[in-house]
A and B are shown apart, each in its own frame.
Chain A
Amino acid sequence: MTARVLKTEEYRITNEPYYAAQGDEIALFEAAYKNRLPVLLKGPTGCGKTRFMEHMAWRLKRPLITVSCHDDLTASDLVGRYLITHGETVWVDGPMARAVRAGAILYLDEIVEARKDTTVVIHPLADDRRVLPMEKTGELLEATPEFCLAISYNPGYQSVLKDLKQSTRQRFVALEFNYPKPELEQQIVQRESGVDAATAAKLVKFAGMTRNLKGQGLDEGASTRLLVHAAKLIASGISPRTACRGAIAEALTDDGEMLAAVNELSASLF
């Protein structure tokens, strides 16, 4: 089997990605989209932000371009740059320019990780101008009505360096995400992995225990994503304790004492 090769702006989601709404976020996003307002997703890692975006892209029938931001990501990485092809300099669009041209949904994941100069291109696109300035070519790219900008950010980081500036955040409609309520989380784990209800309930309980330890040596408790990972391992025959250790405990921490405590907690449940 060969992997398909697609241009990023051609990537359309045809099958409905499973997403269980925590509240009215779907309606809110749709309303924001209709009014051409950019959206900010807040929430801890692994609580369903990216899945939500996929789901919305499917719902709105738009291509989804996702950029995971990192600390070397610059404005020209997003907008585009001149490259040399066949002895000539050729302008190549970056993901942001492509998304604007294609009227796609552009999702900048973990925006605070990106270099500060990226705000220069995000701001004009995020307010009512809706234009992308392309400094290098001296052009302005005007967004079509279908284009949508969404960014995500994890307010749980304690670092002062990783905070979103007011001038940026106040341009967005903010949707707050959190770990789903236990019943819903159980349903998600069950649905995503195929484990039985009792196992899913125990996993959710275990996640609650690790979330109790947040700030006591854990930076974050177990996310829904980690629960799904563990549940998938369990569904393929790994013993629950081993699955929790591999998929959750080791993923959360390297600290020996904390690992021992987290493993004791999972062993208490299973």
Chain B
Amino acid sequence: MTKPPLSSAEIETTLNEVLIWALSTHRSATPLAAALAPFTRGEQDFVLRWADAIAKTNAEMAYQFVSQAPQSMRLMGLDGVEAWAVQAMDVYDKMGLYPACAVFREVAAFAAAERDKANGVSFEEISGVLELFVRGLSGRPLKLEAGDDIYTDTASLFLPARVTRFPDHDQNYRLYKAMVAHQWAQARYGTFAVPLTAVFAGYADPARAERLFHALETVRLDGKLARDLAGLHREMAALRAGLGQALAPAGWERQVARLQAAHADVHDTLALLAELYGSEPPEAICYQGRLHAERAEATIAGRLAHEQDQFRTALLEMLGEKQGEYGESPEDLSERFSLSRTENPDLPGEFSFSLSLDGVPITPPEDVRALMDSIIQDLGEIPDEYLTAAGSGGYRRDHADKADESDWKASYEDQGALLYNEWDFRRRHYRKDWCVLREIDVHPIDEPFVARTRHKYAGLIHSLRKSFEALRGEGRLLKKQSNGENVDFDALVEAWADMHTGREMTDRLFTKLAKLERNIAVMFMVDMSGSTKGWINDAEREALVLLCEALEVLGDRYAIYGFSGMTRKRCELYRIKRFDEPYGELVERRIAGITPQDYTRMGVTIRHLSKLLGEVEARTKLLITLSDGKPDDYDGYRGDYGIEDTRQALIEAKRDGIHPFCITIDTEARDYLPHMYGAVNWTLVEDVKKLPYKVSDIYRRLTA
């Protein structure tokens, strides 16, 4: 039965509550409510629910949403409205309030785009496949990014967020692919091998020279693609034909012939640019995009400096390997190494470089080969100065000044931090790359904590060892098997007798050594939040000591990580013991060094630890959390939000074949843990002091 629509007054009451922080004496909810009154109850509920969700993030956003909602529902279905709201929230996350409000105001544009959606293709749809595609084309990784312009800086390919040029989905996808291929071809076939900005600056109108140059380059690259990637070239030609675009304007026949000649390189393009400068640049082809020579040059310059260092370091290493030690590294590598180039007979203009050491050709390792290829892609060769020393300053340059605050994600990645998505249950979508996580070693301390614990629980450790030894899987001889390593003589005699008395003889005549290997990898995730301060922390540390003792007996692989952090930009994971690290003095000192830190953001921790567990090969994978309460972080990561994100992270872990389990000391755990971990995958230790006794016991039960 459908409920009757809400009246204007009823809506206003709700809105007054939801939008309280966005309303004022000059701005009331009355007109908003009136505009919503004519809609069905379902639609009204939908708007109010989203308004509430958005208001939790920002009240002004919610106000904008409600004021545009009636129009949005006239333009789109509820699915579209939801997508619109989610997009605005994403914009808010990335760019802030004003751009996000602009998304709400431009609902008509969004609706038009939505209509294209059925046929259009989005960047997210294609980026996975095409990133692999371009990686396959060239050894050098090229990142795909969504941007306003279509261009490449030779490290990333920038593509539009959506392509809707064609009325059908498949062709739009092909257009994306053509864009990728064209940008890739620029980097591959040496468009940026000459200092373009300087060349353009020599013309009266640099922008015009750039456009003309790009048009000519497109013709040249088309020739290269036709030679090397015939299938792709056909597709690109079909796209141009579909839009009625010509590769080059009429009258350029002679120029096209020169540009597509086998030997043509960027210098031919430059020569023709000088010749044709007087004529009007033709309209850009659908996949051509723009040329941002200055950005490409900046990237190349940075990369070359870096690669020159790497190349020299690699040569020194190779020299060191040969000499057995570094010895006296020569100032001038060209005394020992030499480079020679040979032209590929099938591909004129393509050279292959080979490296010789003391006159003997050597095969460089794969990574050095890739490095050489990358340098050759940028410069067309490996210049001789790459072999001569840069001075007395050594070969490593300082990269400390790399961090660029404006691009915080990239700079975090450079510093070894990892980005993880976070689940926003209100939007029912992930917030992309939302959390920044770093792995840090726990500072080991010299307190005799472990020795004290061992002494304190000496009796318990003894009995733990015994019970765990019983668990340890040993080979067991199985008798009467239908196949196996050895004859089971007992069975044979029986069978022999059976046969003689006329009964059917069994074929189970072998013994077999059964493999009862425990193939378990377990990850312990230990709460190091501020709330564990005091004896909870002590109990946790003691529990870990006992656990390590027990696990060493058992032989299961295990790792221990502590987690804490403050806000999404500073999630921290403290390494106590990695999987490949032996339990020894260092680990003991780290356990002693576990100190309470800040907050508990659990989702990102689970995602990262699941990833680490995923890299371990084991039949059974366990993720055991030691916790003292609900997920909680400073920037709103609490209540339902934190619980739902944690739950989502656990669902992801289970999908990857990991069994999560939680040991908690929070007496209210019953209210939320079953929802997060599932009905049976948690246990409560009510008395903190019992924690050391219990944890090993729980583990034994779990894996018996």
Task: Say yes or no for A76: interface residue by CB 8 A criterion.
Answer: yes
Contact yes or no, A264 B133, CB < 8 A = yes
A209/B509 contact (C-beta < 8 A), A261-B129, A268-B229, A268-B231 known? no
Task: Say yes or no for B339: interface residue by CB 8 A criterion.
Answer: no
Contact yes or no, A212 B139, CB < 8 A = yes
Task: Say yes or no for B587: interface residue by CB 8 A criterion.
Answer: no
Comparing A31-39, A51-59, A82-90, A166-174, the segment that makes contact with chain B is A82-90
Q: CB-CB < 8 A to B177: which residues of A?
A: 264
Please give the distance in Å from A111's CB to the nearest CB on chain B: 19
Q: Compute how far the CA of A205 lies from the CA of B137 in the bound complex, rounded to whole angstroms.
A: 9
User: Which B residues from 422 to 455 make CB contacts under 8 A with A?
Assistant: none
Contact string against B for A residues 152-175, beta-carbon threshold 8 Å, 1 for contact and 0 otherwise: 000000011100000000000000
User: Which B residues from 197 to 249 make CB contacts under 8 A with A?
Assistant: 228-232, 235
Closest to B345 in A: A183
Q: Compute how far the CA of A257 lies from the CA of B136 in the bound complex, rounded to whole angstroms.
A: 13
Contact yes or no, A84 B492, CB < 8 A = yes
Please give the distance in Å from A218's CB to the nearest CB on chain B: 9
Please give the distance in Å from A89's CB to the nearest CB on chain B: 7
Task: Say yes or no for A258: interface residue by CB 8 A criterion.
Answer: yes
Contact string against A for B residues 623-652, beta-carbon threshold 8 Å, 1 for contact and 0 otherwise: 000000000000000000000000000000
Task: Say yes or no for B135: interface residue by CB 8 A criterion.
Answer: yes
Task: Say yes or no for A213: interface residue by CB 8 A criterion.
Answer: yes
Task: Say yes or no for B181: interface residue by CB 8 A criterion.
Answer: yes
Identify which of B137, B231, B486 contacts A270 (C-beta below 8 A).
B231
User: Which B residues from 90 to 140 make CB contacts under 8 A with A?
Assistant: 128-133, 135-139
A76/B485 contact (C-beta < 8 A), A257-B128, A264-B177, A268-B181 known? yes
Contact yes or no, B486 A76, CB < 8 A = yes
Please give the distance in Å from A216's CB to the nearest CB on chain B: 6
Q: CB-CB < 8 A to A76: which residues of B?
A: 485-486
Task: Say yes or no for B617: interface residue by CB 8 A criterion.
Answer: yes
Task: Say yes or no for B21: interface residue by CB 8 A criterion.
Answer: no
Contact yes or no, A267 B231, CB < 8 A = yes
Contact yes or no, B135 A84, CB < 8 A = no
Task: Say yes or no for A119: interface residue by CB 8 A criterion.
Answer: no
Q: CB-CB < 8 A to A241: which residues of B?
A: 231
Identify which of B128, B231, B617 contacts A269 (C-beta below 8 A).
B231
Task: Say yes or no for B487: interface residue by CB 8 A criterion.
Answer: yes
Q: Looking at chain B, what size class is its interface with the partner chain?
A: 20 to 34
Q: Compute how far the CA of A270 lies from the CA of B232 in the bound complex, rounded to whole angstroms.
A: 8
Contact yes or no, B133 A265, CB < 8 A = yes
Contact yes or no, B132 A258, CB < 8 A = yes
Q: Compute how far the CA of A254 lies from the CA of B233 in the bound complex, rounded to whole angstroms.
A: 28
User: Which A residues from 228 to 270 make CB contacts under 8 A with B?
Assistant: 241, 257-258, 260-262, 264-270
Q: Compute how far the CA of A97 lies from the CA of B231 in the bound complex, rounded to whole angstroms.
A: 55
Contact yes or no, B135 A212, CB < 8 A = yes
Q: Compute how far the CA of A264 lies from the CA of B137 in the bound complex, rounded to whole angstroms.
A: 10
Q: CB-CB < 8 A to A82: which residues of B?
A: 487
Contact yes or no, A268 B137, CB < 8 A = yes
Interface of B is mostly: helix
Task: Say yes or no for A74: interface residue by CB 8 A criterion.
Answer: yes
Contact string against A for B residues 3-17, beta-carbon threshold 8 Å, 1 for contact and 0 otherwise: 000000000000000
Please give the distance in Å from B641's CB to the nearest CB on chain A: 31
Q: CB-CB < 8 A to A269: which residues of B?
A: 229-232
Q: Compute how far the CA of A216 lies from the CA of B141 in the bound complex, rounded to whole angstroms.
A: 10
Contact yes or no, A270 B230, CB < 8 A = yes
Task: Say yes or no for A138: interface residue by CB 8 A criterion.
Answer: no
Contact yes or no, A213 B135, CB < 8 A = yes
Please give the distance in Å from B230's CB to the nearest CB on chain A: 7
Please give the distance in Å from A47's CB to the nearest CB on chain B: 15
A261/B136 contact (C-beta < 8 A), A74-B485, A81-B485, A269-B230 known? yes
Q: CB-CB < 8 A to A262: which residues of B?
A: 132, 136
Q: Compute how far the CA of A84 lies from the CA of B496 in the bound complex, rounded to whole angstroms.
A: 11
Contact yes or no, B139 A159, CB < 8 A = no
Identify which of A161, A216, A257 contacts B617 (C-beta below 8 A).
A161
Q: Specify which of A74, A205, A210, A261 lies most central, judged by the most chain B CB atoms within 10 Å of its CB.
A: A261
Please give the distance in Å from A200's CB to the nearest CB on chain B: 12
Please give the distance in Å from B539's CB to the nearest CB on chain A: 34
Closest to B496 in A: A87
Q: Compute how far the CA of A212 lies from the CA of B131 in the bound complex, rounded to whole angstroms.
A: 12
Contact yes or no, B132 A216, CB < 8 A = yes
Closest to A216 in B: B135
Closest to A209 in B: B136
Q: CB-CB < 8 A to A89: which residues of B?
A: 487
Q: Compute how far the CA of A89 lies from the CA of B181 in the bound complex, rounded to whole angstroms.
A: 70
Q: Compute how far the CA of A210 lies from the CA of B137 in the bound complex, rounded to whole angstroms.
A: 9
Identify which of A160, A213, A261 contacts B130 (C-beta below 8 A).
A261
Q: CB-CB < 8 A to A216: which residues of B?
A: 132, 135
Q: Compute how far the CA of A210 lies from the CA of B135 in the bound complex, rounded to whole angstroms.
A: 9
Contact yes or no, B485 A160, CB < 8 A = no
Q: CB-CB < 8 A to A210: which residues of B?
A: 136
Contact yes or no, B617 A159, CB < 8 A = yes
Contact yes or no, A261 B132, CB < 8 A = yes
Contact string against A for B residues 532-571, beta-carbon threshold 8 Å, 1 for contact and 0 otherwise: 0000000000000000000000000000000000000000
Q: Specify which of A81, A260, A264 lies most central, judged by the most chain B CB atoms within 10 Å of its CB.
A: A264
Closest to A82 in B: B487
Q: Compute how far the CA of A257 lies from the CA of B132 in the bound complex, rounded to whole angstroms.
A: 8
Q: Compute how far the CA of A260 lies from the CA of B170 in the bound complex, rounded to whole angstroms.
A: 13
Please give the distance in Å from A88's CB to the nearest CB on chain B: 11
Q: Compute how far the CA of A267 lies from the CA of B177 in the bound complex, rounded to whole angstroms.
A: 12
Closest to A240 in B: B231
Q: Compute how far the CA of A76 lies from the CA of B496 in the bound complex, rounded to whole angstroms.
A: 24
User: Which A residues from 60 to 112 make CB contacts under 8 A with B?
Assistant: 74, 76-77, 81-84, 87, 89
Q: CB-CB < 8 A to A209: which residues of B?
A: 136-137
Contact yes or no, A160 B137, CB < 8 A = no
Q: CB-CB < 8 A to A264: which residues of B?
A: 129-130, 133, 177
A257/B129 contact (C-beta < 8 A), A210-B136, A212-B138 known? yes
Closest to A89 in B: B487
Q: CB-CB < 8 A to A267: which residues of B?
A: 231-232, 235
Contact yes or no, A84 B509, CB < 8 A = yes
Please give the distance in Å from B11's CB to the nearest CB on chain A: 45
Q: Compute how far the CA of A84 lies from the CA of B192 in the bound complex, rounded to whole angstroms.
A: 77
Please give the distance in Å from B179's CB to the nearest CB on chain A: 14
Closest to A76 in B: B485
Q: Specify which of B129, B131, B486 lies most central, judged by the most chain A CB atoms within 10 Å of its CB.
A: B129
Please give the distance in Å from A115's CB to the nearest CB on chain B: 9
Q: Compute how far the CA of A76 lies from the CA of B484 in the bound complex, rounded to whole angstroms.
A: 10
Q: CB-CB < 8 A to A205: which residues of B?
A: 228
Q: Compute how far the CA of A217 lies from the CA of B128 in the bound complex, rounded to whole angstroms.
A: 11
Contact yes or no, A217 B485, CB < 8 A = no
Q: CB-CB < 8 A to A266: which residues of B?
A: 231
Q: CB-CB < 8 A to B181: which residues of A?
A: 268
Q: CB-CB < 8 A to B132: which residues of A?
A: 213, 216-217, 257-258, 261-262
Please give the distance in Å from A56's CB to the nearest CB on chain B: 23
Closest to B177 in A: A264
Q: Compute how far the CA of A205 lies from the CA of B347 in the bound complex, rounded to whole angstroms.
A: 13
Q: Compute how far the CA of A201 lies from the CA of B496 in the bound complex, rounded to whole angstroms.
A: 65
Q: Compute how far the CA of A244 lies from the CA of B181 in the bound complex, rounded to whole angstroms.
A: 20
Q: CB-CB < 8 A to A260: which residues of B?
A: 129
Please give the distance in Å from A16's CB to the nearest CB on chain B: 29
Please give the distance in Å from B499's CB to the nearest CB on chain A: 9
Contact yes or no, A261 B617, CB < 8 A = no
Closest to A197 in B: B346
Closest to A23 in B: B363
Q: CB-CB < 8 A to A77: which residues of B?
A: 485
Other than A205-B228, A268-B137, A268-B181, give 6 A-B pairs with Cβ distance below 8 A: A76-B485, A82-B487, A213-B135, A216-B132, A261-B131, A261-B136
Listed A/B pairs (9) with beta-carbon separation below 8 Å? A81-B487, A87-B496, A160-B617, A212-B136, A212-B137, A261-B130, A264-B177, A265-B136, A269-B231
5 A-B pairs with the lowest CB-CB distances in the bound complex, closest first: A261-B132, A268-B232, A209-B136, A268-B229, A260-B129
Residues of B within 8 A of A (CB): 128-133, 135-139, 177, 181, 228-232, 235, 346, 485-487, 492, 496, 509, 617
